Structures are given as structure tokens and as C-alpha cells.
Amino acid sequence: MKTKIAQMEISAAAKNGNLFIDRTSGKTIFASQQQLLEISLHAADLSVPTRNFKTVKTWTYLLFEEFFIQGDLEKEKNLPVSFLCDRETTNVAKNQPGFSNFIVIPLFTHLTELMPNLKPMLTQCKANTELWTHYSESEEDK
């Protein structure tokens, strides 16, 4: 997606996100629409960090509880505990800025070039990332 956006010189400022759809033939139209739908679905799946911070915290801790249950089961079966699944060693808050900075923000940055109306979601994600950097696990009940 990043490469195609750069090659096509697509930008939110130029309002030319429609160039992402290759209109050369019916086959290319379908393929590029399919690609955009797949990217959009992936973004929706990863969109929790783009919500208000209270919602982000709630959903993040629910997700990590699922991870921790998996880790507990792995420990019971004497299996190696999967990454981020050990409730004794994983600091949820410390992991969130990396996830946002390396996965969510780049994805929404590129999507915003195609769909400028997503800019508020990107802005919220950046603000939440900053909040996570100052958040500590002991603040959970505040």
C-alpha cells in the first residue's frame, strides 16, 4: 500500500485517493478494490488504539486477559509461554506505544492519504500513544 501510494503520488491534500483503484481493466479494478477492502478490514481490526483513551484501556486489558489465560494454560501444560502471554512479566502499558508506533500509526497514516476523513482516528491514536507512555499499571483503577 505504501509503495502504491508513493508511486501514484496519492495524497490527502491532492484529494486523489481514487487513484488507488487501477481502472485499466475489469480485472485490475476488482483486484485493487479487493486490496483496499482487505487493508480497510485489517485497519478496522487494529482500530482500538484510535478510540478515546478510556475505551482503549478497557479493550486493551480485555485482550491481554485473553493472552494471559493462554499463557496460564501453556504453563499448566509445561509449554513455553508465548510472547506477551505471561501475566507475571508482561507490562501492558509499556507494550502499547510500540504497537501503536510500529503498526497502527503507520497503517492509519497511509490510509489517511487515501481516505482523509480518517485523520481524526490517526490524531487520537497518536494522543493515546503519548498517554500510554506516561501511564503506569498502578493507575488502572483511577
pLDDT at 142: 40
Please write the tens of the pLDDT for every residue from 31-52: 999 999 999 999 999 999 999 9
pLDDT of residue 137: 61
At residue 98, what is the residue type? G
User: What is the per-residue DSSP string for 99-119?
Assistant: HIIIIIHHHHHHHHHH-GGGH
Quick: pLDDT tens for 14-26.
999 999 999 999 9
- With 70 as the cut, is the pLDDT of residue 66 above it? yes
What percent of the chain is modeled with pLDDT above 70? Answer: 95
Give tens-digit pLDDT for 102-139.
999 999 999 999 999 999 999 999 999 999 999 866 55
Asked if residue 114 lies in contact with residue 17, where contact means CB atoms within 8 angstroms, the answer is yes
Helix (H) or strand (E) holding 42: helix 26-45
Residue with cell 480497510: 40
The backbone torsions φ and ψ at residue 73, rounded to the nearest 5 degrees and listed phi first, read -65, -40
Q: How far apart are CA 123 and CA 109, in angstroms?
A: 10
Q: How far is CA 127 from the centre of its chain?
A: 14
